[in-house]
């Protein structure tokens, strides 16, 4: 491990979550995707060709996670950020997952024909 990996203070874990970059007292926002995250920072993929300021807030509404961010690297449509503060708030959205399990368990038994059918 050399270079960028040595600078990290904590291990990052991969994720794929929608988030919002907010700046200008939250009057300006840009959609992004959190690609990986740790206790000290994250890697974000910007949606579109919008440039964001050097400092902003990151809002992950599904988790109720908010963090102050400082850009440490820009590369293409991705930016790496260092958290200046983090806080947990009540989630603004809830993810509801409906299972795709059949109501009746499938059977390997041959179905019988109704009366009158061969």
Whether 40 is in a domain gets the answer yes
pLDDT single digits (tens) 25-68: 999 999 999 999 999 999 999 987 678 999 999 999 988 999 99
Whether 118 is in a domain gets the answer no
Stronger pLDDT, 75 or 90, i.e. the higher one: 75
Whether 110 is in a domain gets the answer no
Whether 56 is in a domain gets the answer yes
φ/ψ of 4, rounded to 5, equals -60, -40
Give pLDDT, residue 33.
Answer: 95
Whether 36 is in a domain gets the answer yes
Residue 63, domain CATH:
2.40.10.220
Whether 114 is in a domain gets the answer no
- Domain extent, residue 77, equals 4-88
Q: Domain tally for the chain? A: 1
Whether 47 is in a domain gets the answer yes
Q: Where are the alpha helices (DSSP H) in the chain?
A: 4-7
Give pLDDT, residue 31.
Answer: 93
On whether the pTM is more than 0.75, the answer is no
Stronger pLDDT, 18 or 12, i.e. the higher one: 18
């Amino acid at each position: 491990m050399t270079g960028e990996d040595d600078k990290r203070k904590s291990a990052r874990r991969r994720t794929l979550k929608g988030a919002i970059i907010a700046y200008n007292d939250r009057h300006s926002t840009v959609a992004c995707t959190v690609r990986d995250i740790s206790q000290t920072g994250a890697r974000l993929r910007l949606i579109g060709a919008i440039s964001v300021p050097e400092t902003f807030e990151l809002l992950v509404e599904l988790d109720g996670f908010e963090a102050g961010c400082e850009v440490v690297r820009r590369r293409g449509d991705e930016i790496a950020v260092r958290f200046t503060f983090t806080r947990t708030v009540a989630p603004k959205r809830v993810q509801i997952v409906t299972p795709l399990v059949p109501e009746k368990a499938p059977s390997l038994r041959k179905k019988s024909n109704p009366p009158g059918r061969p």
